Amino acid sequence: MARKIDSKIVSYKVKEAETAQPAKNDEIDDNKVIQMHETVQRPEHLKGTTYKLKTPEHISEHSLFITINDIILNEGTEHETRRPFEIFINSKSLEHYQWIVALTRIISAVFRKGGDITFLVEELRSVFDPKGGYWNKGKYVPSLIAEIGNVIERHLTYIGMLGSNDDEHRQQYLKQKREELAAAEAAEAEAEEEASDSFPPNATLCYKCHARAVIQKDGCMTCLNCGDSKCG
């Protein structure tokens, strides 16, 4: 149908219907980005990294092998990320088997929960052994669990979830934990010093009350402080 133009044409613009389409597609793609959460299905193949953990013989006679399997999310896209999915700890020694199995299941559950999981490192590293820690490669380790936390930290740094340099908040957290550990060790040393005057000098540490008051009495190891006895 023809239409008469009564006025002079001073300008014109060609309307393109497809100009808004790419933005819409980009928005849809962003909404399809997969984040780590507990409903993500485990694929048949996962990329794993195994770390060998050698401890002093009084902690464990055999080495521990810590394997962390990672899942690749949004593989092949600009949103591709690598996140830990599960952890396994194996050793020839069965001394720590029970708590190791429980610990690995809990950590794996936290991995699959998603979100910020870096807090695991500090929580594990803040655990200290009442029997005393040990030195590993010139660094004091308060417990075997803390050593596992160090391994997880190495792995999270390796896959890019943690930076190689600690931030201010992390430094303050570490300082607080070190002060708490030093205070606990000082209190334990003071208690041992006070108890040393009343118990025999050859007494050993009691793992129940933490006093150096265990001696062999009537053929059985007995604590003179709390009365704990291996014979019941």
3-state secondary structure 32-82: CCCCCCCCCCCCCCCEEEEEEECCCCCCCCCCEEEEEEEEEECCCCCCCEE
Q: Which residues form the domain of 141?
A: 37-164
Buried b (16+ CB within 10 A) or exposed e, 110-143: bbbeeeebeebbeebbbbbeeeebbeeeeeebbb
Residue 2 falls inside a structural domain? no
Residue 222 falls inside a structural domain? no
Residue 147 falls inside a structural domain? yes
Taking only the tens of pLDDT, the chain with its 232 residues reads 667 777 777 777 776 665 444 444 444 355 577 777 778 888 888 999 999 988 887 777 788 999 999 999 888 888 888 899 999 999 887 777 888 999 999 999 999 988 889 899 999 998 988 888 888 877 888 899 999 999 999 999 998 888 755 556 666 766 676 677 777 777 766 766 665 557 787 888 887 777 788 888 888 888 888 888 878 6
Residue 28 falls inside a structural domain? no
The answer to whether residues 195 and 211 touch, using CB atoms and an 8 Å cutoff, is yes
Residue 133 falls inside a structural domain? yes
Residue 30 falls inside a structural domain? no
The answer to whether residues 134 and 141 touch, using CB atoms and an 8 Å cutoff, is yes
pLDDT (0 to 100) of residue 174 = 63
pLDDT (0 to 100) of residue 63 = 87
Residue 31 falls inside a structural domain? no
pLDDT (0 to 100) of residue 27 = 42
User: How many residues are there in the chain?
Assistant: 232
Instruction: Please state the domain count of the chain.
Output: 1
Question: What's the one-letter identity of residue 173?
Answer: Y
pLDDT (0 to 100) of residue 111 = 93
**What's the chain look like in SS3?**
CCCCCCCCCCCCCCCCCCCCHHHHHHHHHHHCCCCCCCCCCCCCCCEEEEEEECCCCCCCCCCEEEEEEEEEECCCCCCCEEEEEEEEEECCCCCCHHHHHHHHHHHHHHHHHCCCCCHHHHHHHCCCCCCCCEEECCEEECCHHHHHHHHHHHHHHHCCCCCCCCCHHHHHHHHHHHHHHHHHHHHHHHHHHHHHCCCCCCCEECCCCCCEEEEEECCEEEECCCCCECCC
pLDDT (0 to 100) of residue 224 = 85
- Structural tokens at position 177: 């934990």
User: Taking the C-alpha atoms of 144, 146, 147 and 151 in order, what is their torsion angle to the nearest 10 degrees?
Assistant: 140
Residue 101 falls inside a structural domain? yes
